[in-house]
Structure 1
Amino acid sequence: MCGIVACLNEGPATGYLLPALRRLEYRGYDSVGIAVTTQDGAVARLRSVERIDALEAAVLRWAGAPLGGAGIGHTRWATHGGVSTANAHPLSDCSHRINLVHNGIIENAGLLRRRLERSGHRFESAVDSEVICHLIEDQLCDAGDPLLAVRRALSLLEGSWAIAVLDAASGRIIVSCHRSPLLLAHTASAVLVASDIAAVGEWVERFRVVDDGDVLELSDVEQHGQSTAGATVFGKTGGVGSVETPGLGGYVDYMAKEIDEQPTAVARLLAELADGVADGSLWRGLSMPAFERLRVVGCGTSLNAGHVIANLVRRFGGVPACLTVASEANSEVVEPDTLCLAISQSGETADVLRAVTTCAQPGTLLGLTNNSHSTLARSADAFLSCNAGPEIGVAATKTFVCQVIAGCALMISALIAVGRLSTSSAAGLVDTMESLPQRLAKATAAAASVVPDIAEKYCTAPGFIYIARGTGVPYAAEGALKLKELTYRWAEHYPAGELKHGPLALIGSGTPVVAVRGADKKLAANIAEVEVRGGHVVSVGTAESTIPVQADLAAPWGPLECIVPLQMLARTIGLTLGWDVDKPRNLAKSVTVE
């Protein structure tokens, strides 16, 4: 969940570290810090439990020797140890020679810590990562060389890591990764390492992904890289979803901007995919085998998008489809001829990456991601980019919509290719799909005129219930998730028919119930059940709804237009309550730990 960056530069390292950390803040913002060499041969370690602005101010206040060209940085999402300066990275060993930033979890940290403490090591933090510093310190006593000491220390670890180590004695920087992403890039004057191309894309044209097990020294990468010679080098274009960090462009927050960008993002995606849908060529181009069943694997928003895709496959192809919560996949029994569709916005979601090792049979793993150079994209048998473009807000908006469209387009193409859907039927679906940008734009305009008053009315409500039937259920789930993420109020979604089987007990006078209208006419009776018990219904979808977005209820992907007002409602209530809707508490954009 954390973001790391390292720099070896001819000029001051902070010129790269600070902007890179700002671009990585979506990966965690509980604390931030850097360790940089100084011109008198020491290392300056600056940390803050505030945001990047506070770290930048600390650098400006630095009164010691001028900062040098070697440095490492970190922005944290807390797993072990609370949010405090002591627990902020970079961490250090007893002598403060070894400075380290780490993304991942060390699963045997407790055992290692006890052993190290018994041998005299003094720990300054409650963070699992600190054990790596002390292990390297121990190995240095025997190995003498920092590169060899890092290699030996890593051999003692269990878990996942991407690390950057700055040796204060020599100014050398050593990096490595195992089950956690890391990439390497060069400028004319600097060698850079980061968790994501978004951190360094402004400065580089080409990069390569550091392979699991690599231990690289930045000063001499070609000599020390274990797999450098055969490594694939990528250009930063060609589907990397987050190369640039766009500005706000006059918006108050990124979420508002990204909600408004949804029609444009969908139009761009359809321009790329639509021609290959009705003739089956989009699917055939992936060279995947025919399948009899579909298993969708994902988490959170991506799983909700997968629910929409599964509904389409069942309805139009008669293909059995099931949903797997990635973190619970270890007990799944996979039937033969099953296609595993793994969905992850970042392509680095640890639960998804672990799940596909048990849910995917050889040759059947298809990835859907917004990052063409991610671990998921590289490890899948085939992948499709949802091409949403950069998304800075932690609560997903346009990535959800683009996942739905990309996944549905691909599955329609697949059903054509395997003979489960006629070309004439597919052509009609494509025509309907191509109207979506305009429909989403109209939904945005319609919602903008009514959502603020609704948000003001219900912003003090302690909780919400979201209901829908049929194809509307995934959108109710996504709407409830957005409200939880941005307002910190409880919000639960239910298939509306389930109300009478328990959840109706939650309805009292004034309870807000958001009803996502779909094609199922039985929803009206469920709404009546709520209203007669005093619940306040906010309906979304049809012309007569509270929020009349006039969704296409007959579309195979359901009332997609309804997601726009649900996103806007969550954002507006969050802002009314005074929260940061771009960076909600306890959350991060890229979930790289299990």
Structure 2
Amino acid sequence: MCGIIAARVADDATPFLLDGLGRMEYRGYDSVGIAVRSAAGRIETVRSVARVDDLRALAATAPAADAVTGVGIAHTRWATRGTVREENAHPHADCSRRISVVHNGTIENADRLRTTLERQGHVFRSDVDSEVIGHLVERALRVDPDLMLAVQIAVAQLEGSWALVVLDARDGRMVAAADGSPLVAARSTRGDFVASDVGTIAEWCETFVPLRDGDVVELGEAWSWSSEGIAVPVPFPTASPFAQTAVDLGAHPDHMAKEIDEQPGVVADVLARVRHRTADGSTWVGLGLPPFDRLAVVACGTSLHAGQVIANTVRSLGGVPTDTVVASEVEHVVLGPGTLVLAISQSGETADVLRALDRLDDRHPVLALTNHVHSSLARRADAVLDCHAGPEVGVAATKSFTAQVVVGVTAVVSALVASGRLEPSRAVALVDDLARLPERMAAAAVVAADRVPLLAATVRDAPGFLFLGRGPGLPYAAEGALKVKELSYRWAEASPAGELKHGPLALVDDGTPVVVVDHGDPRLQSAIAEVRARGGFVVTIGGAGSDVPAVARPADATDLAWGRSVAPWGPIEAVVPLQMLARELALQLGCDVDKPHDRARSVTVR
């Protein structure tokens, strides 16, 4: 949620700020703004409650009192506190407009601080918690003129989470700070940059340094770095994992289409990294985690569905008891002894997941599964699995879901081998089957591209959808329903097929679309018959003869190491037509598939 970029370059900072905002607009798109220091020592601020393209046009036509410099900050907002209006857009200023601030996170004691500051004569112009930061810095500067010290004093008074950058109009000094929210700093021949994520600055910087909780950094000719108020050497930079081309659309009409198409390649890359270390247990041994008797998945949304697939796999193959925990409901869960916690978050900054870890017993080791190995979640965990999905700009997760599934599944297969619960020869056969997944996903995409547009047109006017699955197919039905809700704003409910007669069947009327993930379980046929008997419009996604044939089924189940017609991780390739159906439906309804309303990547509110 929300994105920050700051730049200190030789020329006008405005193009860098606008380009950076465009690359991370997926993080928030309720409002945007930039603040650039002028040569006369003032801040030129432009804000908009529209998108980045609108801000770009406003910045191009805004009358500038003075020539601007190469120092500036910018922000794209996803509203959490305060309505969507220009006054609530970042950057925010202090009373004198000397200090300008951009902030991600939540200041939990903002109301108390605001009351105190107002009593001292400070005047606020917005409803948002972030504005208190500028006034705290302003107050500290009255005592000591050093900006870095003022920011340290200010953040010491905050409770909650923050990633922030403060700009001083008088001298152009710029200070960044972070605690509980992601921020990276980078230096290259183009200049110095600060951003919420590495992909934003990948075009200009080959290395970066992630800020850790409690860090305060001044960017200048030489960087000044402090941790918990103590001066420390500048950390050694890390090579950027993202090439700029990864966030460009290329020939694709939108990022979601691009990222759906990238899934076979992502899976192939993941398997190339882990395949030969899965069947012998070495992947698991390398994590350095203790043996476990139970697995508890803690996640939200799409990551929760990926976790259900992983839990199904370890339970089916190794007989390991599992718990699937909705992160926001963790206070109602009691974990047994010997439980390993698998915490899953694409961004590694999901507040509900981080809060869940705060409430769990420290005796339970934590394995993080994330696409960002420098995230808050990764720092909190005892071991980390990297999804290797690359940057995902579309807000509705696609390739990160399949990457989470494949990385998580291979990790637990490796764990079962290492613990003696699974024979290495059987693990080899399982991994060999996974190796054919990229080809199956690519084939599913070809079929879906031909059939989904007409299918979406047929169900476009339906008020809602029902998704059905059984056993290992159920998480994919749930993920398909979630995608329809996220993108088309229609209700969509996922249900086990066997539960139809216990309530969901009441939703089925003439023409009600019912999407069935058919992975070959013969009991699904009775559910399909019940739906058709009530006039429901059944869409099957499965093997040959399905409306969208996407699920590979071997002709002879005895050829499979697990002795049945579907792998324990279920029909992964079925997620491709499910994603494509949700996207096509949304497009036909005129919705923005990359930036659905009320949804943002990296939900970091605490």
Q: Work out whether the TM-score is over 0.5.
A: yes
Looking at structure 1, the residues matched to 196 and 464 of structure 2 have their Cα atoms a distance apart, in angstroms, of: 37
Looking at structure 1, the residues matched to 263 and 155 of structure 2 have their Cα atoms a distance apart, in angstroms, of: 43
Query: Deviation digits for residues 256-278 of structure 1, max 9, x if unmatched?
Result: 11111111111111111111111
What does residue 489 of structure 1 align with? 490
Looking at structure 2, the residues matched to 497 and 242 of structure 1 have their Cα atoms a distance apart, in angstroms, of: 46
Looking at structure 1, the residues matched to 257 and 552 of structure 2 have their Cα atoms a distance apart, in angstroms, of: 21
What does residue 567 of structure 2 align with? 555
Query: Deviation digits for residues 400-430 of structure 1, max 9, x if unmatched?
Result: 1111111111111110000000112111101
Does 1:235 pair with 2:238? yes
Looking at structure 2, the residues matched to 509 and 116 of structure 1 have their Cα atoms a distance apart, in angstroms, of: 61
Look up the SS of the partner of 1:500 in the other structure: helix
What does residue 561 of structure 2 align with? none
Aligned-pair CA distance for 1:494: 1.1
Query: Higher mean Cα deviation, 386-395 or 413-422?
Result: 386-395
Alignment of 1:415-430 (within 5 A): 415-430=416-431
Looking at structure 1, the residues matched to 8 and 548 of structure 2 have their Cα atoms a distance apart, in angstroms, of: 54
Query: Deviation digits for residues 490-511 of structure 1, max 9, x if unmatched?
Result: 1111112222222222222211
The 1:302/1:221 distance shift into structure 2, 3 A limit, reads: farther
- Do the aligned residues in 2 keep the contact of 1:49 with 1:85 (CA within 8 Å)? yes
Aligned-pair CA distance for 1:160: 0.7
* Matching residue's letter, 2:525: A
Looking at structure 2, the residues matched to 251 and 197 of structure 1 have their Cα atoms a distance apart, in angstroms, of: 22
Looking at structure 1, the residues matched to 318 and 212 of structure 2 have their Cα atoms a distance apart, in angstroms, of: 39
Does 1:566 pair with 2:578? yes
- Do the aligned residues in 2 keep the contact of 1:201 with 1:236 (CA within 8 Å)? no
Does 1:389 pair with 2:390? yes
* Matching residue's letter, 2:566: A
The 1:49/1:364 distance shift into structure 2, 3 A limit, reads: same
Alignment of 1:164-563 (within 5 A): 164-188=165-189, 190-219=191-220, 222-226=223-227, 229=232, 232-237=235-240, 240=241, 245-359=246-360, 361-362=362-363, 364-552=365-553, 554-563=566-575
The 1:233/1:348 distance shift into structure 2, 3 A limit, reads: farther
Query: Higher mean Cα deviation, 315-324 or 216-225?
Result: 216-225
What does residue 562 of structure 2 align with? none
Q: 1:579 aligns with which of 573, 591, 595?
A: 591
CA-based RMSD = 1.8
Looking at structure 2, the residues matched to 242 and 409 of structure 1 have their Cα atoms a distance apart, in angstroms, of: 26
Aligned-pair CA distance for 1:45: 0.5
Aligned-pair CA distance for 1:224: 4.8
Aligned-pair CA distance for 1:241: 5.6
* Matching residue's letter, 1:56: R
The 1:324/1:411 distance shift into structure 2, 3 A limit, reads: same
Aligned-pair CA distance for 1:169: 2.5
Aligned-pair CA distance for 1:225: 2.7
- Do the aligned residues in 2 keep the contact of 1:7 with 1:192 (CA within 8 Å)? yes
Query: Higher mean Cα deviation, 217-226 or 466-475?
Result: 217-226
- Do the aligned residues in 2 keep the contact of 1:298 with 1:352 (CA within 8 Å)? yes
- Do the aligned residues in 2 keep the contact of 1:197 with 1:243 (CA within 8 Å)? no
Q: Percent identity?
A: 54
Look up the SS of the partner of 1:57 in the other structure: helix
Looking at structure 2, the residues matched to 24 and 513 of structure 1 have their Cα atoms a distance apart, in angstroms, of: 35
Does 1:21 pair with 2:21? yes
Query: Higher mean Cα deviation, 466-475 or 521-530?
Result: 521-530
The 1:231/1:293 distance shift into structure 2, 3 A limit, reads: farther
Look up the SS of the partner of 2:142 in the other structure: helix
Aligned-pair CA distance for 1:398: 1.0
Aligned-pair CA distance for 1:361: 3.5
Query: Deviation digits for residues 414-463 of structure 1, max 9, x if unmatched?
Result: 10000000112111101111111111111111111111111001111111
* Matching residue's letter, 1:506: L
Look up the SS of the partner of 2:343 in the other structure: strand
Look up the SS of the partner of 1:538 in the other structure: strand
The 1:224/1:290 distance shift into structure 2, 3 A limit, reads: closer
Aligned-pair CA distance for 1:230: 5.1
- Do the aligned residues in 2 keep the contact of 1:327 with 1:355 (CA within 8 Å)? yes
Looking at structure 1, the residues matched to 509 and 355 of structure 2 have their Cα atoms a distance apart, in angstroms, of: 42
What does residue 591 of structure 1 align with? 603
Look up the SS of the partner of 1:457 in the other structure: helix
Query: Deviation digits for residues 87-131 of structure 1, max 9, x if unmatched?
Result: 110011222122110000111222222333333332211111112
Aligned-pair CA distance for 1:77: 0.7
Look up the SS of the partner of 2:268 in the other structure: helix
Looking at structure 2, the residues matched to 48 and 242 of structure 1 have their Cα atoms a distance apart, in angstroms, of: 29
The 1:228/1:327 distance shift into structure 2, 3 A limit, reads: farther
What does residue 556 of structure 2 align with? none
The 1:474/1:151 distance shift into structure 2, 3 A limit, reads: same
- Do the aligned residues in 2 keep the contact of 1:201 with 1:243 (CA within 8 Å)? yes
Looking at structure 1, the residues matched to 362 and 545 of structure 2 have their Cα atoms a distance apart, in angstroms, of: 47
* Matching residue's letter, 1:272: R
- Do the aligned residues in 2 keep the contact of 1:132 with 1:153 (CA within 8 Å)? yes
- Do the aligned residues in 2 keep the contact of 1:470 with 1:519 (CA within 8 Å)? no
Looking at structure 2, the residues matched to 202 and 194 of structure 1 have their Cα atoms a distance apart, in angstroms, of: 13
* Matching residue's letter, 2:21: L
Looking at structure 2, the residues matched to 271 and 372 of structure 1 have their Cα atoms a distance apart, in angstroms, of: 19
Looking at structure 2, the residues matched to 339 and 360 of structure 1 have their Cα atoms a distance apart, in angstroms, of: 11
Structure 2 unaligned blocks of 5 or more: 554-564
The count of residues paired between Structure 1 and Structure 2 equals: 592
TM-score, structure 2 normalization: 0.94
The 1:515/1:9 distance shift into structure 2, 3 A limit, reads: same
Aligned-pair CA distance for 1:67: 1.1
Structure 1 unaligned blocks of 5 or more: none
Query: Higher mean Cα deviation, 305-314 or 13-22?
Result: 13-22
Looking at structure 1, the residues matched to 165 and 531 of structure 2 have their Cα atoms a distance apart, in angstroms, of: 55
TM-score, structure 1 normalization: 0.96
- Do the aligned residues in 1 keep the contact of 2:199 with 2:244 (CA within 8 Å)? yes
